[in-house]
Amino acid sequence: MNVEALFDEALTLFSEILQLCKPSDPERKLAQDREEIRELADENAYNPLDVQDGRKKILQNIAVRQGQRKFRNQLIEAYEGKCAVTGYAVLDVLQAAHIVPYNGKITNEPANGLLLRSDIHDLFDWFLHAINPFDWSIKISKLLSESDYADLDGKKIELPESSKYYPSKIALEWHFEQLKD
């Protein structure tokens, strides 16, 4: 086979491949419809076809929280599957909260934890409520005094049945001192 015949054969094969790669009629129609919609849309109108992912993509190193599952399971058992503050009992929204923030698996002691509903946990981590270590009562930050959470002020937390799972008074005292007012 000569060079010219090989070239013709390659060109024919290339043309066939291009035909296979062309969009089908339904795909072409969809692209045309999208273009028409874009042309008709008001420049300032919301157009879901032009939405791009606007979320920030942040690369970060995430410290693996060794022992987190065991810590949560211990708190679920200790608090009988109920939020220590609200009594809420849906496990899917209950979280193991550290009183003194996580700093390695040594901080995953039940005495450094509370089982809290996710929103209560967030407020706890932001020091918008704390627990008085002397009488187990909840103190709400003044920043929440006009919120639905204000009703929690002065309420006592539910303690585990076994005192070995009680929150550390030293940890609670540290956290209480961080309360934002």
Domain that includes residue 9, residue range: 3-50
At 58 the pLDDT is: 42
Strand partners, 97: 114
pLDDT at 101: 93
151 and 82 in a common domain: yes
Residue 170 confidence (pLDDT): 95
Mark whether 72 and 151 lie in a shared domain: yes
pLDDT at 105: 83
**Domain total of the chain:** 2
92 and 170 belong to one structural domain = yes
Is 76 part of a structural domain of the chain?
A: yes
| 41 and 73 inside one domain | no
89/155 same-domain check:
yes
Residues 40 and 74 in one domain: no
Torsion of CA 120, 121, 126, 131, to 10 degrees: 70
pLDDT of 181: 82
- Specify whether 169 is located in the same domain as 108: yes
Same domain, 9 and 83: no
User: Does 59 map to a domain?
Assistant: no
Q: What is the pLDDT along the chain (181 residues), one digit of tens a residue?
A: 666 776 677 667 666 665 665 555 666 667 776 676 666 666 666 666 566 655 554 443 334 456 688 999 999 999 999 999 999 999 999 999 999 998 888 899 999 999 999 999 999 999 999 999 999 999 999 999 999 999 999 999 999 999 999 999 999 999 999 999 8
Distance CA 2, CA 7 (A): 9
The reply to whether 164 and 77 lie within a common domain is yes
| Within-domain flag for 56 | no
75 and 30 assigned to the same domain? no
Decide if 111 contacts 125 (C-beta within 8 A).
no
> Does residue 57 lie within any of the structural domains?
no
Q: Return the amino acid letter for 96.
A: A
Helices (DSSP H) in the chain: which residue ranges? 3-21, 25-40, 68-78, 118-125, 169-177
CA distances from 159 to 62, 118, 153, 173 (A): 32, 18, 17, 16
Q: What pLDDT, on the 0 to 100 scale, is given for residue 141?
A: 97
